[in-house]
Copies of this chain bind each other. A is one copy, B any other.
Amino acid sequence: MQKEKRVAIIGGDARYLPLIHTLNKTNEINLELIGFDQVEQSYTGVKQSTLEELKPEQLDAVILPITGIDDKGYAEAVFSKQELQLTKDWFKRLPSHCLVFTGIANQTLLDSVKIKGNKLIKLMERNDVAIYNSIPTAEGAIMLAIQHTDITIHQSEVFVYGFGRVGKTTASAFKGLGAKVTVVSKDETDIARAFEQGYTVCHLSESIKLIENCHVLVNTIPAKVINKPILEKMKSDAIVIDLASKPGGTDFDFAKARGIHAIHALGLPGLVAPKTAGEILAFQIQKFIFSS
């Protein structure tokens, strides 16, 4: 039998509730929550603490918010009014084997974990997490396309810009509903793979020649690729769903002026499938805790 692991969750958002629920199902994890005092739900066997009560010396893992900590060490807690400041002195008290989980990391966090040499796992920068998260993202895009067009996805012309982690999943989801999907990329390897998978393919530099047929454009490329020339050629009742992180890849001002409905859809996993999104994080965290 595995030794019980002591895990503290310090701050977090709505995705952390299913995460807590899933981790709590594992008998070998002893959970302590900081920054969840306003959650109405209670979890059997889970201790709610304050940062003062928590003993970092005893921890095997710390789970920080997806956003990590800010420059002054503050961790964001959506479900608490407590101020959760994790100073360098606090990190000094962690045992060196203690894992530190975050979504993303700034320099302050990178410096803080260096003090005792703690392993930092940046969940959102991991390829596997990005791929798992791409599933609810693609379903969110499907939902938006059904809601905001007056045609069926089936037999519609869908252009997916980018064939990376999110692009692959999105193209597959639309194809699964019978759409005619064109994959647009400037990467010849991606174009070859998309071709192999049965999509119509098009080099980024050539997409302007085909875009007038498009009903639904999904962008996943984090660069201004859905620009004025592209938008000018599009049907006015086509829609643009931009999944690329801020500031997105679409000239939203021009789209608006042109009368094209363009949606910058961020955070879809938490929106359409918070439970799955939380579980994705929980499974990753468990994998690390029990393999370390």
Contacts and interface: CB of A to CB of B under 8 A. Distances in A.
Contacts of A149: 273
Given A177-B177, A276-B152, A146 B142 contact: yes
Interface string A69-92: 000000000000000000000000
Interface residues of A, number: 25
Contacts of A139: 146, 152-154, 177
Contacts of A272: 146-147, 152
A273 B179 CA distance: 14
Interface in A247-270: none
A176 interface: yes
A150 B273 CA distance: 4
Interface string A129-171: 0000001100110110011011111100000000000000000
Each complex incorporates copies of this chain amounting to 2
Contact of A143 (B146, B178, B276): B146
10 contacts: A18-B150, A136-B152, A139-B153, A142-B146, A142-B177, A150-B276, A151-B273, A173-B177, A176-B177, A177-B177
A153 B176 CA distance: 12
Nearest to A274: B150
A142 to B, nearest CB: 7
A151 B142 CA distance: 15
A274 B153 CA distance: 12
A275 interface: yes
Nearest to A179: B176
A197 B58 CA distance: 54
A67 to B, nearest CB: 21
A193 B136 CA distance: 30
A149 to B, nearest CB: 7
Contacts of A154: 135-136, 139
Contacts of A274: 150
A146 B140 contact: yes
Contacts of A178: 135, 173, 176
A136 B177 CA distance: 11
Contact of A275 (B146, B147, B150): B150
Given A176-B178, A177-B173, A143 B147 contact: yes
A140 B147 CA distance: 9
A136 B178 CA distance: 11
A261 to B, nearest CB: 15
